[in-house]
Amino acid sequence: MVGMSGKRGNGEGSIYPYKNGYAAYVWVTTPDGKRKRKYVYGKTRDEVHDKWINLHTEAKKGPVATRHRTVAAFLAYWLESIVRPHLAPLSYVSYEGAVRLYIAPHLGSKRLDKLTVRDVREWLTRLATVCQCCAQGKDAKRKPSQRRCCAVGDCCGAYPSRRVIQAARDALRAALTHAIAEEEISKNVASLVKVPKPRRQKIKPWSVAEASRFLTDAAARDDHLFAAWVLVLSLGLRRGEVLGLTWSSVDFEAGELYVDHQIQRAGRQILHRETKTEDSDDFLPLPELCRNALRMRRAQQLGDRKAAGELWQDSRGLIFTTKHGTPIEPGNLTRMFALRVRRAGLRAIPLRNTRHTCSSLLVALGVHPKVAQRILRHSQIAMTMEVYAAASDEEVRAALGKLSNAMGGD
Distances (CA, A) of 295 to 99, 217, 288, 302: 46, 18, 11, 11
8 Å CB contact between 319 and 294: yes
pLDDT above 90 (res 342): yes
Task: Give the burial string for 84-107 (b: 16+ CB within 10 Å, else e).
Answer: eeeeebbebbbbbebbebbbbbbb
DSSP assigned state of 257: E
261-266 and 35-42 strand pairing: unpaired
Percent of the chain with pLDDT over 70: 79
The pLDDT of residue 268: 65
In the predicted structure, residue 244 carries a pLDDT above the cut 50? yes
**Contact of 11 with 29, CB cutoff 8 Å:** no
Residue pLDDT, tens place only, 78-99: 999 899 898 888 788 899 999 9
Q: Which of 41-55, 162-176, 244-258 has the highest mean pLDDT?
A: 162-176
**Prediction pTM value:** 0.62
Q: What share of the chain is helix, strand, coil (3-state, %, to 5)?
A: 55, 10, 35
State pLDDT tens for residues 284-336.
778 788 888 999 999 999 999 999 888 888 877 889 999 998 888 888 999 99
Determine the pLDDT at residue 294. Answer: 93
pLDDT digits (tens, 9 = 90+) for 143-183: 998 899 998 889 998 899 888 999 999 999 999 999 888 77
pLDDT at 197 over 90: no
Residue 276: count of CB within 10 angstroms of its CB: 12
Task: Find which of 194-198, 237-241, 385-389 is predicted with most confidence, using mean pLDDT.
Answer: 237-241
> What is the spatial distance between Cα 320 and Cα 277, in angstroms, rounded to a whole number?
23
- The per-residue pLDDT for 30 is 76
